[in-house]
């Protein structure tokens, strides 16, 4: 009895950890954008859903596995993010928050309804060959799809870390985030760096979408939920902190899975929001954030 329960718990935790890595990658995009530009991307969940739809289309019409279409989607999202920042968001940097909010809300409405107009309201899923495969580790069973998605998410996060710590552009972006004026003084092209950052953040969420479609089917109505989920994760982890976003993703993934096991599944997000409220009050800079906001 107890050992059965413990096994179920361990299974839920594993499942939560694997999903949580994809959540983490999604939240990473939001965190990078906020950390550098101080702009909250209210269209984040909508971008995630677009990523999921693109991967579904690749699978449905071109018979491309989402893991293979992922680099294409990420590249497309990077370009779209770059253009979006350059053309639309750039003048709003440093403006009052409600104006940024309205701007990105309009973008969100356009994205999600474009998806609705093109793909319709039905849920669209991807049936992969590896759908029912699993790996076993002792008594624990890992879904193959979930494990692959999680590993891909970790690999992308590692690439991102290399980009920000090892490349010249990545370091410049961090410099601009640390000290906007200083970056201008030493002659960095901050506008271009911001556009690159938005591109990188968008690529993250696009890639996360391509991974997420292998785990659950997509509908336009998921967009708002993902926006909220990404907010919860980055606040829990610390807005602007990369490790925070990843660990926050794991924490929320696990807490959702465990709450789904112990309580009713529909109560699982109440748990996340409760956690968010506690954290905002006790440690608003997040678990891994450095300075107070």
8 binds other proteins (CB under 8 A): no
Interface with other proteins, residue 231, by CB under 8 A: yes
Q: What is the dihedral of CA 75, 150, 44, 196, to 10 degrees?
A: -40
Helix 2-37 and helix 190-215, axial crossing angle in degrees, nearest 10? 160
Torsion angle in degrees (nearest 10) through CA of 270, 146, 59, 43 = 30
Give the contacts of 73 (CB within 8 A, at least 6 positions apart): 51, 54, 55, 58, 206, 207, 209, 210
DSSP classification of residue 92: G
**Residue from the set 30, 33, 37, 107 that interacts with other proteins by CB under 8 A:** 107
Does 290 help bind other proteins (rule: CB under 8 A)? Answer: no
Q: Is residue 103 close enough to count as binding other proteins by CB under 8 A?
A: yes
For other proteins, the binding residues in 35-74 under the rule CB under 8 A are 40
Neighbours of 189 (CB within 10 A): 13
The answer to whether 265 contacts other proteins (rule: CB under 8 A) is no
CA distances from 274 to 31, 49, 80, 265, 267 (A): 21, 25, 35, 15, 11
- Subset of 238-257 contacting other proteins (CB under 8 A): 239
Shortest reach from residue 95's CB to other proteins, in Å: 7
Q: Which of residues 204 and 276 has its CB atom nearest to other proteins in the complex?
A: 276
Rule CB under 8 A: say whether 262 interacts with other proteins: no
DSSP conformation class of 49: H
Q: Which stretch binds other proteins (CB under 8 A): 63-71, 109-117, 131-139, 242-250?
A: 109-117
Residues in contact with other proteins by CB under 8 A are 40, 88, 95, 97-99, 101-103, 105-110, 112-117, 120-121, 220, 224, 228, 231-232, 235, 239, 264, 266-267, 269-270, 273-274, 276-277, 280-281, 284, 293
């Amino acid at each position: 009895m107890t050992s059965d329960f413990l096994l179920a718990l361990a299974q839920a935790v594993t499942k939560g950890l694997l999903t949580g890595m994809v959540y983490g990658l999604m939240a990473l995009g939001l965190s990078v954008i906020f950390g550098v530009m101080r702009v909250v991307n209210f269209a984040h969940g909508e971008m995630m859903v677009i990523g999921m739809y693109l991967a579904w289309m690749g699978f449905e019409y071109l018979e491309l596995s989402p893991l293979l279409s992922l680099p294409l989607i990420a590249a497309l999202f990077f370009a779209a993010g770059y253009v979006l920042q350059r053309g639309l968001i750039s003048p709003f940097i440093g403006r009052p928050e409600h104006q940024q909010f309205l701007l990105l809300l309009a973008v969100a409405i356009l994205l999600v309804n474009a998806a609705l107009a093109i793909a319709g309201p039905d849920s669209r899923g991807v049936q992969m060959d590896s759908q029912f495969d699993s790996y076993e580790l002792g008594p624990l069973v890992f879904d193959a799809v979930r494990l692959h998605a999680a590993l891909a998410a970790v690999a992308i996060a590692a690439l991102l870390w290399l980009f920000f710590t090892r490349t010249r552009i990545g370091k410049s972006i961090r410099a601009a985030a640390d000290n906007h004026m200083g970056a201008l003084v030493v002659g960095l092209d901050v506008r271009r760096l911001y556009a690159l950052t938005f591109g990188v953040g968008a690529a993250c969420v696009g890639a996360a979408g391509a991974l997420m479609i292998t785990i659950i089917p997509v509908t336009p109505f998921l967009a708002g939920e993902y926006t909220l989920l990404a907010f919860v994760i980055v606040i829990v982890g610390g807005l602007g902190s990369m490790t925070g976003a990843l660990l926050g993703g794991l924490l929320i993934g696990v807490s959702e899975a465990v709450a789904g096991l112990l309580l009713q599944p529909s109560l699982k997000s109440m748990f996340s929001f409760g956690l968010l409220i506690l954290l905002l009050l006790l440690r608003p800079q997040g678990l891994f954030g450095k300075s107070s906001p």
